[in-house]
Structure 1
Amino acid sequence: MKKNIGVVMGGYSSEYQISLKSGDVVCKHLNPEKYNIFRLHILKDKWIYVSEEGKETLINKGDFTLSIDEETIHFDCIFNAIHGTPGEDGFLQGYLELLNIPHTSCPMYQAALTFNKRDCLAALKPFGIKCATSYYLNKGQNIDTSDIIAKVGLPCFVKANKAGSSFGVSKVNTKEDLLPAIEDSFKEDDELIIESFLDGTEVSVGVITYKGDINVLPITEIVTENDFFDYEAKYLGKSQEITPARINGEMAQKVSSVAKKVYEILKMKGFSRSEYIFVDNEPYLLEVNTVPGLTTESILPQQATKAGISLNELFENAIEEALR
């Protein structure tokens, strides 16, 4: 008997359009002979199932079911393709876990922790994970630019603490540019993390649970035409994503080991993609993503393909792991 699989996409953040693309790719690559596939749009103003014909059916938020032609559809598993809130920050995970509905992403606590850059880095530092020097700032707090620069130096990065796809991120080269960058980041979140600039090779490392085992995927090197790996570089072709990365064997072993260690320390499940910059041949962690982009151009699917894992296998494995 075919399983009912709901693919959730959209979300409430600036990343919702990217999420819709990821969700569509997942739906396209799941086997319709094996699964009944439902496109579920989780949006601020409505939660709906969108049929192939474009017909919309409201989702029952009380038990996350659908009523179609007088039949109630219960989901055997939810494939989570929502980048940002509520799919990457723990809200959706907690909701589904209360309803005992399996889902493909990590558990609620891990999602909330990794989505909060400040808390995630603070949790990992005691385990010896290297990170940039950082300064925390909350909306409404007194802003002392001299104090910030004394701590992190220039250039530095101003980042929205809870946001993805490089929304609310700026590279600051002068003291005069710091305050405007802070104001811009506060448009995305009321908490900021300001980090020292790390000059080195940037790589992205995918770690997944595949057929019951933790697998580190081939490493991707990020080479951007812009000042850093911003939204344009990620989604508008202003970067090269080279897999496997052009780094030596020792560097590859180090960053793979750290990425797997991070996955294990955090007790992760499902997909993860973490970003690192090498400084003096040592990998420094930037952030951890638990619902990475899943389009054919996205980094983690590229890495899986290099590892000999097709998108069909990648997505179906995520469902089978969740059902297990």
Structure 2
Amino acid sequence: MSARTRVAVIGGGQSCEHDVSLASAASVADALDPAAYEAVRLTIDRDGTWRDHGGRPIGLPGAVHVLTSCDVVFPMVHGPHGEDGTLAALCELAGLPYVGSDLGAGALAMDKWATKLVAHSLGLATAPGHLVTAATLAGERFDHPVVVKPVAAGSSLGVSLVTRAEELAPALEAALAIDTRALVEDVVAGREVDVAVLRRADGSLVVSPALEIVADGLFDHAAKYGGHADFRVPAALTDVERKELEDAAVATYRALGCSGVARVDFFVTDRGPVLGEVNTVPGMTEHSQVPRMFAAAGLPYADLLDELVRGATR
């Protein structure tokens, strides 16, 4: 091992979250402590082409050569072909330590329908919903407001709030343009509150302060990245609400088999927390939700990244 730990930071990817992934990867590489780490940047183009830190196309064999020259991999590819366990599987096959969840946890958490089934087995509430595919699309009818979303996508892409019958078909088409399955869920009346669970380098689990998202309407892609949402951390919660969220987040993290850090999204309702989804490769710029939450607990961004890298190599 070199004097400094070589960390391969991978960004981009083939999903609709390509640009968000680039931002996360660049931020991580820039913020790794240069006294302890040497960041080695790799990018995956939208067409799957791997590029080195100079932007030169190197292909998968070249990428594997670079990866195996590093001590640890930090995958920052959100969405399909990354967050879903794809890059974790590549690292496993190459015998490389990596930051984050393994193939099984990534695939389960990326699938919102599978995550709902896991939540139900834990006794956690989720929004009532059902799956829609191209084969069942013609049978869909509107009878109450719903949220339509792709089953396996992130960054709130393809998510629509449907309040009128004429909005249902376009919403389903938008979701199915991103994924082969769409999820149609009842609208949950509650506050949108996220918590993050981190497995520290010593193996212990720590839950971040909760963050409330206050948005004017649906917290979609435009609201998330357009600078219009109001993130409040720590969220104003009662002790009971805080304990319920922390217990539910840890139970979900463990049941899915997560590692590293995962963001668990909830609705806080009068009847208790309702699980929304789990992100095993959450946004990781300094201003993203997870770094904001841990910063509020006294764990600065660079220290959070250090915990993640050391946790992957322990």
TM-score band by shorter chain is over 0.9
Distance 1:2 1:104 in 2: 17
Letter in 1 for 2:160: S
Say whether 1:23 aligns with 2:29.
Answer: no
- Structure 2: runs of 5 or more not aligned: none
Distance 2:178 2:151 in 1: 9
**In the TM superposition, what is the alpha-carbon distance from 1:248 to its structure 2 partner?**
1.6
Q: Which of 44, 49, 59 in structure 2 is aligned with 1:46?
A: 49
Normalising by structure 1, report the TM-score.
0.92
8 Å CA contact retained: 2:148, 2:183: yes
Q: Which of 161, 164, 180 in structure 2 is aligned with 1:171?
A: 161
Say whether 1:7 aligns with 2:2.
Answer: no
**In the TM superposition, what is the alpha-carbon distance from 1:63 to its structure 2 partner?**
7.2
Partner of 2:100: 105
SS in 2 for 1:56: coil
8 Å CA contact retained: 1:88, 1:291: yes
Normalising by structure 2, report the TM-score.
0.94
SS in 2 for 1:50: coil
SS in 2 for 1:33: coil
After superposition, residues 230-241 of structure 1 pair within 5 angstroms as: 230-241=220-231
Partner of 1:76: 71
Partner of 2:312: 322
**In the TM superposition, what is the alpha-carbon distance from 1:177 to its structure 2 partner?**
1.2
8 Å CA contact retained: 2:284, 2:290: yes
**In the TM superposition, what is the alpha-carbon distance from 1:144 to its structure 2 partner?**
1.9
Cα offsets for 1:77-124 (capped at 9, x unmatched) = 101111112210111111110111111010101100100101111122
The alignment's C-alpha RMSD in Å is 1.6
**In the TM superposition, what is the alpha-carbon distance from 1:62 to its structure 2 partner?**
7.1
Partner of 1:273: 263
Q: Which of 133, 136, 143 in structure 2 is aligned with 1:138?
A: 133
8 Å CA contact retained: 1:145, 1:175: no
**In the TM superposition, what is the alpha-carbon distance from 1:287 to its structure 2 partner?**
0.4
**In the TM superposition, what is the alpha-carbon distance from 1:323 to its structure 2 partner?**
0.5
Distance 1:295 1:3 in 2: 21
In structure 2, relative to structure 1, the CA distance for the partners of 1:78 and 1:59 (3 Å cut) is: farther
Partner of 1:181: 171
SS in 2 for 1:278: strand
Distance 1:42 1:77 in 2: 18
Partner of 1:192: 182
- Structure 1: runs of 5 or more not aligned: 67-71
Partner of 2:58: 58
Partner of 1:213: 204
8 Å CA contact retained: 1:274, 1:288: yes
Letter in 1 for 2:89: G
